[in-house]
């Protein structure tokens, strides 16, 4: 039944084309992006609606997709008869547009992008999802939602799973129930990156028609290390980036071309963007203010202000309030409590400068002999803080600061070349002759990261939170460097970015296309030693030495070097053939990994002995046949009028069984 989703996508794209974009520029990309947003809003609303009636199951999900497809098909036949178009004619126009776009990019650039896209697509489909956050809370939600038939909150040791925004997981929920497989999970981020690249090209074309700007901007966006790595995961930073860039494109498209469809697609982006990740608001806020001012200033726009603002508020609240309310009932806060640790607490202007500087320096680190380059930069950052009279590391301003070297993990990889290109693009934006609207776009993009730095404190994994900014900056990089570079450097720059990105596509530390074990055991140690790079390549470095995803077992991909000990415990669990399994976890436990490896027809899971406010949601009638704990609860305990004793311990994991 998974074919229902691409069928809906094709029908929605055709409908958007006929209804809105028959005579527009970039007609295929516009139609595709608009259709994707319609599909996403359908998933968000239908999931909440079905959850109200406890209908989160395969039959109900398939039924609503069939109804949705029938509705789109009826709309298509009506539009087709009104405008006298056939699908073959539309497909031919789309194909011609795609050919022209590829011709404009050039064969070499298309080939580079195709190689990156192919490698990441293969990994996204072949690899078992094993990102640490996904194992803890992104994917673990699905099993409990399906088990209870709705998307209500449940008792959980992992607070993020019942407080962090759920939209990406709603998409995973639909693909899983329609296909019965996890193989489509990582395609969401990969497809959102494809959408982002389409949006980057569309934004660039609003301001420039030169091929150089398009090549540089697209290659910049496609080769960012953190973007390449995340496109193969089930995180949600590329998903939220898609909605950010879509909203921004529609804002500028409406202001420039007066497309009313663009204006009313913005509320859809806001509703689902906020449902994906709260950082959506920070990146879109400057552009939203710019749109409001433009609408107030121009009489042609003024008449739409009330309906637009009302649509944005009503739709955003309607889509998000149910989840916020469920979270508020548990934590007395609509966004939970864990996110409060990521917020800045300022006592003066120096604190804000500190936040901006640390977010910037997060990307400036790199490998160097004796680590001299990083030591120099760290010294400058410490001098800045000393001059301002504040310590570099203050708890109210985030985590202790650490200079990056080189990291192939999707949580910590940074954008070394990207940040330097952005820094040098700032003076170019000032002095290069660009359209006024392009300069406004550039300054608003830089303002967006300043807004982000005002609210969000420095974190060691902050690079992935910066993804929307770097992708917003891609058109700026394309426009500035494309305007000043001669022909051959303008062609060389995308190639150099591609060469730098290729190792991240092939050697991800979480799910490598090629074996990182071979690379870090045979190739890298002599380089590391000869150049005195001082990079740790032992097991403590996030299980850096991994087998290719084509050969590694799911357990190895989940737990790395800890898999043998975990396997012993799971074999013991299965030997007991339990129907009900209880979990006692920490916030960082791999909930989804346990579910994946222990899943059987009729078997149910639940978190037990929960210590946070969600404990009120524990089912008093649930009496587990076994309890797997990642906390030591001693030799035994009572739970729901049943006694349990410790049966075994393996590598920091405890198995409790009922006492006889």
Structure tokens at 187: 């395609």
Evaluate whether residue 591 is within a structural domain.
yes
Asked if residue 187 is part of any domain, the answer here is no
* DSSP code, position 25: T
Query: Alpha-carbon distance 291 to 304, whole Å?
Result: 12
Is residue 446, in this structure, part of any structural domain at all? yes
Of 480, 498, 516, which closes a domain? 498
The tens digit of pLDDT for each residue in 236-268 reads 999 999 999 999 999 999 999 898 999 999 999
Contact of 627 with 642, CB cutoff 8 Å = no
Asked if residue 583 has pLDDT above 80, the reply is yes
What residues are paired with 643 via a beta bridge?
Answer: 638
Residue 146: closest CA among 220, 63, 58, 40: 58
Q: What are phi and psi of 419, to 5 degrees?
A: -65, -35
Residue 554 forms part of a structural domain: no
Mean of pLDDT values over 480-487: 94
Dihedral (Cα; 409, 411, 413, 419), 10-degree rounding: 160
Domain identity same for 439 and 570 = no
- Give pLDDT, residue 340: 63
Contacts 24+ apart (CB under 8 A), 566-570: 566/650, 566/651, 566/653, 568/650, 569/628, 569/648, 569/650, 569/651, 569/653, 569/655, 570/594, 570/597, 570/598
- Tally of structural domains, the chain: 2
Residue 539 has pLDDT above 60, yes or no: no
CA 400 – CA 381 distance, rounded (Å): 13
In this prediction the pTM is 0.96
Specify the 3-state DSSP secondary structure of 647. strand
First to last CA, the chain: 46
User: Biggest alpha carbon distance in the chain?
Assistant: 82
Nearest in space to 567 (alpha carbons), one of 534, 593, 586, 541 = 593
Q: Which pLDDT score, from 0 to 100, does residue 341 have?
A: 65
d(CA 444, CA 437): 10
**46 in any annotated domain:** no
Please check whether residue 592 is in contact with residue 134, taking contact to mean a CB–CB distance below 8 angstroms. yes
The Cβ of residue 508 has, within 10 Å, a number of other Cβ atoms equal to 26
Portion of the chain with pLDDT greater than 70, in percent: 98
Inter-residue contact 560 to 552 (CB < 8 Å):
no
User: Same domain, yes or no, for 465 and 576?
Assistant: no
* 487 and 571 both lie in a single domain: no
Residues 356 and 490 placed together within one structural domain of the fold: yes
Backbone dihedral angles phi then psi of residue 62, each to the nearest 5 degrees: -60, -40
Residues 304-336: tens digit of each pLDDT: 999 999 999 999 999 999 999 999 999 999 988
Among 482, 498, 514, give the residue marking a domain's end: 498
Helix axis angle for 58-83 and 27-52, nearest 10°, is 140
| Residues 488, 592 within the same domain | no
Looking at residues 434-442, what average pLDDT do you find? 96
CA distances from residue 136 to 159, 190, 586 in whole angstroms, order as listed: 10, 21, 9
Using the 3D structure, point to which of 468, 498, 528 is the last residue of a domain: 498
**For 455-464, 539-548, 583-592, which range has the lowest pLDDT when averaged over its residues?**
539-548
Q: Do 578 and 490 share a structural domain?
A: no
- Do 580 and 494 share a structural domain? no
Average pLDDT over residues 155-183: 96
Q: What is the CA radius of gyration of the chain?
A: 25
What integer pLDDT is reported at residue 541 of this predicted model? 53
What are 93-117's pLDDT values in tens digits? 888 888 999 999 999 999 999 999 9
Q: How far apart are CA 413 and CA 415, in angstroms?
A: 7
SS (HEC) of 76-110: HHHHHHHHCCCHHHHHHHHHHHHHHHHHHHCHHHH
Residue 196 lies in a domain: no
pLDDT at 538: 63
Same domain, 487 and 353: yes
Decide: helix, strand or coil at residue 550. Answer: coil
Cβ count near 509 (within 10 Å): 23
pLDDT digits (tens, 9 = 90+) for 46-97: 999 999 999 999 999 999 999 999 999 999 999 988 888 888 888 888 888 8
Q: Is 372 part of any domain?
A: yes
- My answer on whether 573 and 486 are in the same domain is no
Q: Which domain holds residue 383?
A: 349-498
- 465 and 571 in a single domain? The answer is no
pLDDT for 540 equals 54
Asked whether residue 627 is assigned to any structural domain, the reply reads: yes
Residue 530 has pLDDT above 70, yes or no: yes
Count CB neighbours of 403 within 10 A.
17
Minimum mean pLDDT range among 169-178, 200-209, 387-396, 542-551: 542-551
The answer to whether residues 648 and 579 belong to one domain is: yes
The residues near 385 (Cβ < 8 Å, ≥ 6 apart) are 354, 357, 391, 392
Reply yes or no on whether the pLDDT at 164 is more than 90: yes
Tell me: do 484 and 589 sit in the same domain.
Answer: no
∠ CA 443-471-42, nearest 5°, is 110
Q: How confident is the model at residue 36 (pLDDT cuts 50, 70, 90)?
A: very high
Q: So what's the pLDDT on residue 406?
A: 86
pLDDT tens for residues 610-645?
999 999 999 999 999 999 999 998 999 999 989 999
């Amino acid at each position: 039944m998974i074919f229902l989703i691409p069928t809906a996508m094709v029908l929605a794209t055709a409908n958007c084309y006929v209804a809105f974009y028959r005579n527009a520029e970039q007609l295929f990309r516009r139609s595709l992006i608009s259709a994707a947003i319609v599909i996403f809003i359908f998933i968000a609303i239908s999931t909440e609606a079905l959850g109200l009636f406890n209908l989160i199951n395969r039959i109900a999900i398939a039924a609503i997709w069939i109804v949705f497809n029938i509705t789109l098909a009826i709309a298509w036949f009506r539009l087709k008869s009104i405008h006298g178009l056939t699908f073959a004619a539309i497909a031919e126009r789309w194909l011609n547009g795609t050919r022209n776009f590829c011709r404009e990019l050039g064969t070499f650039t298309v080939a580079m992008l195709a190689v990156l896209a192919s490698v990441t697509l293969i990994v996204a489909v072949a690899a078992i999802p094993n990102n640490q956050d996904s194992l803890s809370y992104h994917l673990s939600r699905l099993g409990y939602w399906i088990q209870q038939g709705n998307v209500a909150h449940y008792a959980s040791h992992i607070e993020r799973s019942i407080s962090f925004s759920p939209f990406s997981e709603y998409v995973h929920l639909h693909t899983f129930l329609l296909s019965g497989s996890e193989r489509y999970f990582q395609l969401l981020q990969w497809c959102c990156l494809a959408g982002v690249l389409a949006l980057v090209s569309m934004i660039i074309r609003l301001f420039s028609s030169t091929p150089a700007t398009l090549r540089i901007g697209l290659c910049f966006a496609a080769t960012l290390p953190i973007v390449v790595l995340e496109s193969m995961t089930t995180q949600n930073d590329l998903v939220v980036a898609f909605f950010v860039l879509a909203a921004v494109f529609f804002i500028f498209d409406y202001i420039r071309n007066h497309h009313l469809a663009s204006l009313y697609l913005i509320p859809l982006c806001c509703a689902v963007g906020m449902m994906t990740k709260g950082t959506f608001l920070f990146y879109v806020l400057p552009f939203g203010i710019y749109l409001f001012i433009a609408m107030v200033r121009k009489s042609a726009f003024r008449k739409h202000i009330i309906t637009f603002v009302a649509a944005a508020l009503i739709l955003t609240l309607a889509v998000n309030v149910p989840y916020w309310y469920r979270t508020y009932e548990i934590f007395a806060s609509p966004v939970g409590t864990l996110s409060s640790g990521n917020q800045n607490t300022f006592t003066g202007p120096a604190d804000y400068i500190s936040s901006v500087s640390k977010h910037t320096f997060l990307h400036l680190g790199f490998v160097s002999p004796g680590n001299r380059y990083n030591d120099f930069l760290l010294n400058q950052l410490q001098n800045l803080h000393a001059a301002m009279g504040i310590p570099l590391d203050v708890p109210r301003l985030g985590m202790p600061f650490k200079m990056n070297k080189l990291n192939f993990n999707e949580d910590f990889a940074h954008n070394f070349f990207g940040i330097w290109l952005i820094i040098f693009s700032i003076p170019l934006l000032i002095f290069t002759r660009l359209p006024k609207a392009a300069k406004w776009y550039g300054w608003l993009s830089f303002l967006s990261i300043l807004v982000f730095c005002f609210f969000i404190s420095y974190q060691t994994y902050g690079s992935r939170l910066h993804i929307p900014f770097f992708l917003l900056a891609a058109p700026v990089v394309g426009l500035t460097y494309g305007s000043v570079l001669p022909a051959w450097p303008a062609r060389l720059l995308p190639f150099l970015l591609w060469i730098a990105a290729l190792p991240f596509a092939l050697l991800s530390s979480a799910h490598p296309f090629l074996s990182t074990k071979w690379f870090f055991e045979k190739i890298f140690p002599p380089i590391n030693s000869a150049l005195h790079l001082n990079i740790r390549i032992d097991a403590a470095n996030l299980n850096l030495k991994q087998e290719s995803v084509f050969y590694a077992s799911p357990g190895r991909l989940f737990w790395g070097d800890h898999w043998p000990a975990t396997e012993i415990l799971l074999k013991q669990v299965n030997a007991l053939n339990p129907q009900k399994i209880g979990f006692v976890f920490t916030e960082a436990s791999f909930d989804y990994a346990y579910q994946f490896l222990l899943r059987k027809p009729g078997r149910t899971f639940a978190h037990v002995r929960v210590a946070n406010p969600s404990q009120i949601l524990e089912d008093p009638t649930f009496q587990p046949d076994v309890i797997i704990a990642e906390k030591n609860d001693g030799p035994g305990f009572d739970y729901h009028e049943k006694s349990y004793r410790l049966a075994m311990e393996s590598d920091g994991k405890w198995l409790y069984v009922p006492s006889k």
